[in-house]
C-alpha cells in the first residue's frame, strides 16, 4: 500500500505551487530564455497552474477541506518509463536534436505533474502521486514535437491527455476506468488537427520518424527494452500480432508487385516502436489473450490502411501509427466479448497454458516472440539492411516498370541531390525528363517535370558533376539525349547512406565494400 499524506488547505496550496514555480524556473534555461515564444509558453503555463492553485485554495478554505497525497509507485509506470528513456537516450546518441530537447521534455514533465495534481484535487480530496506522468510524457515525445515557435501547443497536448484520462471513463469489469491511453489520445487528436489544417510543418514529426532509424540495430534495441514490460504485464501477444500481421502483409505485397509497401522497410521503425511502446498499455487494451491478439492484428492492419488513405489524400503518412489507437481503445470491450464467445473461446491461447502461472505463460509467449523476431531478422524483415532503402534496388525496379518505382526513385534521387550529390542531381534530371515526356520545358501537362529536370541538371553542374553540365546545356537546346555516369567515391558517403544516419567511415576500401553489398554496378572490382 502507498503512503498517504494529509494536507491542510495551505499545505495543499504549497505542494501544488512547487510544479508551478519549477516550471517558471525553466525561463532561465538558455534555449527558453533566448526564444520569446518559448519564454511565453513556459511562463504562461506556469501562471496558469498558479492561478488554478489559487482558485483551489479559496474553494478549499471555504469548505475546510483537507487534501491527501497517496504515494503509489506502480511497476507499469516506472518499467515503461525506463524502456522509453532508453530509446530516447540511444536515439539521441545518434541524433543530436533529441538531447537538445531534453530541457523541453523536462518542462513538459513538470507541467504534467502540476496539471495532474490540480485536476485530481479539483475532483476529489485524494490524489495518487507516483511515476504515472513520466511514461505519458516520454511516449508523447517519442512521436511528436512542436517546433519552438509553436511549443505552447505541446503543453496543450499534455493537458488534453491528462484531462481525457480523468474525465472520459467507463465501467469495465466492475470498475470505473479511463478509456483512452493518455499519450495516444492527444497524439491522435493533434495528428487529425494537423492533417485538417495542413500545419504539420510546425512539428518535427517527420524528422522524428526518419531519424529513429539512425542508431545501429534500432529494431533489436526496441525488441530488447520491451521485454521486461512484456514479462510483467503480459502484452507480448499484442506486439507480436501487430508485427507479424504487418510483416505478412508486406511479404504478400512484395510478391504481388515486386516493390515494398513502405518503400524502405517492411515495418517502419517508428511503427515498430509504436507496436512496442504506444498501443500496448495494459489498462486500455483487451483483458483476454485472444482479444489482445486481435487487438494487435487490428493495429498492424489499420496502420497499412491509414498509410494508403493518408497518401492518397496528400496528407503526411507518418501519422499512420497514431490515428487509430483511440478507436481501438473504444473497441476493447467488444473485442473481449467476442473472444469469450462460444465460437472463439476455443481459439484462445490461454487454453493451451491453463496449468501455467501467469508469469510462466508470459515467458512462453516471449519465447515464441523471440523465435519469430530472430527468424524475421534473419530473413531481412527487420534490421539495418533492408534493400528498399538503397538506390540500386529502385533503379532496377524502375527499369522493369514495377508499380510506383520510378516515382519513388525520382524522389529519392532528389533527396540525395539536396544532400550534395551531383550524381544524384544528374540522375534525378534524367528521370524527371523521361517521366515528363518529350515536350518543351514548362509546356504541356508534364512541363513541370521538365522544369524540375532542368533545375536538377543545374544543381548537379554547380556541384561539379560534369555530365550534369552537358545535360543542362542540351536541355536548353531541346536535345533529349542525356549523358550519365557512375557516382564518384567522394559521393559514396551520400548515395550509400540509405535511410540510416551519416556514414562516418569514409575510407575508399570501406565505401567500395558497402557499395558492392548494396548492388552498385562496378563497385565489386578492385578498389580504384
- Long-range contact set of residues 477-482: C-beta below 8 Å, sequence gap at least 24: 478/440, 480/433, 480/438, 482/429, 482/430, 482/433
Closest C-alpha among 212, 184, 187 to residue 269 = 212
- Predicted TM-score of the model (pTM): 0.93
Separation CA 80–CA 76 (nearest Å): 6
Confidence of residue 435 (pLDDT cuts 50, 70, 90): confident
136 close to 113: Cβ distance less than 8 angstroms:
no
CA 376 and chain centroid, separation: 21
**β-sheet with 126-129: strand ranges across:** 3-7, 67-71, 126-129
Boundaries of every domain in the chain: 217-384, 390-518
Mind listing the pLDDT tens digit for each residue in 214-234? 999 999 999 999 999 999 999
Query: Which bin fits 61, alpha (ψ -120 to 50), beta or left (φ > 0)?
Result: alpha
DSSP state string for 263-328: SS-SS-HHHHHHHHHTTT-GGGS-SSHHHHHHHHHHHHHHHHHHHHHHHHTT--GGGTTTTTHHHH
Closest C-alpha among 219, 144, 239, 232 to residue 186 = 144
Q: What is the largest CA-CA distance in the chain?
A: 88
Which pLDDT score is estimated for 444?
44
Q: What percentage of the chain reaches a pLDDT higher than 70?
A: 96
Backbone angles phi, psi at 169, to 5 degrees: -135, 165
Grid coordinates of 132: 504515472
Report, as an integer, the average pLDDT of 61-70: 86
Confidence of residue 353 (pLDDT cuts 50, 70, 90): low
Mind listing the pLDDT tens digit for each residue in 397-427? 999 999 999 999 999 999 999 999 999 999 9
Amino acid at each position: 500500500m502507498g503512503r498517504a499524506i494529509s494536507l491542510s488547505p495551505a499545505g495543499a496550496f504549497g505542494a501544488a505551487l512547487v510544479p508551478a514555480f519549477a516550471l517558471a524556473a525553466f525561463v532561465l534555461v538558455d534555449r527558453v530564455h533566448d526564444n520569446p515564444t518559448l519564454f511565453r509558453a513556459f511562463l504562461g503555463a506556469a501562471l496558469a497552474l498558479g492561478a488554478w492553485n489559487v482558485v483551489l485554495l479559496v474553494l478549499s478554505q471555504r469548505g475546510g477541506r483537507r487534501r491527501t497525497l497517496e504515494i503509489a509507485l506502480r511497476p507499469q509506470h516506472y518499467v515503461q518509463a525506463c524502456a522509453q528513456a532508453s530509446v530516447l537516450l540511444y536515439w539521441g546518441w545518434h541524433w543530436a536534436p533529441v538531447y537538445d530537447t531534453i530541457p523541453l521534455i523536462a518542462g513538459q514533465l513538470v507541467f504534467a505533474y502540476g496539471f495532474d495534481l490540480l485536476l485530481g484535487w479539483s475532483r476529489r480530496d485524494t490524489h495518487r502521486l507516483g511515476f504515472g506522468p513520466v511514461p505519458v510524457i516520454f511516449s508523447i515525445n517519442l512521436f511528436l514535437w512542436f517546433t519552438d515557435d509553436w511549443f505552447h501547443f505541446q503543453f496543450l497536448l499534455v493537458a488534453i491527455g491528462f484531462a481525457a484520462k480523468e474525465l472520459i471513463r467507463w465501467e469495465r469489469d466492475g470498475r470505473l476506468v479511463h478509456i483512452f491511453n493518455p499519450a495516444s489520445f492527444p497524439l491522435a487528436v493533434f495528428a487529425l488537427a494537423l492533417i485538417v489544417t495542413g500545419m504539420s510543418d510546425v512539428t518535427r514529426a517527420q524528422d522524428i520518424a526518419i531519424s529513429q532509424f539512425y542508431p545501429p540495430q534500432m529494431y533489436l534495441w526496441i525488441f530488447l527494452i520491451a521485454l521486461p514490460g512484456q514479462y510483467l504485464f503480459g502484452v507480448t501477444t499484442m506486439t507480436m500480432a501487430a508485427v507479424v500481421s504487418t510483416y505478412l502483409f508486406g511479404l504478400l505485397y512484395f510478391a504481388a508487385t515486386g516493390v515494398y509497401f513502405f518503400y524502405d522497410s517492411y515495418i517502419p521503425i517508428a511503427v515498430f516502436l509504436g507496436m512496442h511502446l504506444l498501443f500496448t498499455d495494459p489498462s486500455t487494451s483487451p483483458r483476454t489473450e485472444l482479444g489482445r491478439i486481435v487487438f494487435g492484428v487490428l493495429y498492424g492492419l489499420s496502420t497499412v490502411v491509414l498509410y494508403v488513405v493518408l497518401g492518397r489524400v496528400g496528407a503526411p503518412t507518418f501519422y499512420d501509427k497514431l490515428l487509430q489507437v483511440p478507436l481501438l481503445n473504444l473497441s476493447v470491450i467488444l473485442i473481449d466479448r467476442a473472444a469469450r464467445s462460444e465460437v472463439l473461446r476455443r481459439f484462445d491461447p490461454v487454453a493451451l497454458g491453463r496449468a501455467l502461472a501467469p508469469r510462466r505463460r508470459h515467458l512462453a509467449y516471449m519465447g515464441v516472440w523471440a523465435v519469430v523476431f530472430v527468424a524475421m531478422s534473419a530473413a531481412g524483415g527487420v534490421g539495418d539492411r533492408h534493400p528498399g532503402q538503397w538506390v540500386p534496388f529502385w533503379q532496377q525496379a524502375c527499369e522493369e516498370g514495377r508499380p510506383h518505382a520510378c516515382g519513388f526513385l525520382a524522389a529519392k534521387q532528389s533527396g540525395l541531390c539536396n544532400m550534395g550529390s551531383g550524381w544524384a542531381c544528374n540522375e534525378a534530371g534524367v528521370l524527371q525528363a523521361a517521366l515528363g515526356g518529350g515536350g518543351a520545358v514548362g509546356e504541356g501537362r508534364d512541363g513541370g517535370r521538365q522544369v524540375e529536370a532542368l533545375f536538377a541538371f543545374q544543381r548537379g553542374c554547380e556541384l561539379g558533376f560534369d555530365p550534369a553540365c552537358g545535360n543542362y546545356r542540351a536541355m536548353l537546346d531541346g536535345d533529349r539525349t542525356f549523358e550519365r555516369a557512375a557516382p564518384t567515391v567522394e559521393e559514396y558517403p551520400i548515395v550509400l547512406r540509405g535511410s540510416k544516419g551519416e556514414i562516418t567511415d569514409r575510407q575508399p576500401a570501406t565505401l567500395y565494400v558497402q557499395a558492392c553489398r548494396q548492388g552498385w554496378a562496378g563497385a565489386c572490382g578492385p578498389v580504384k
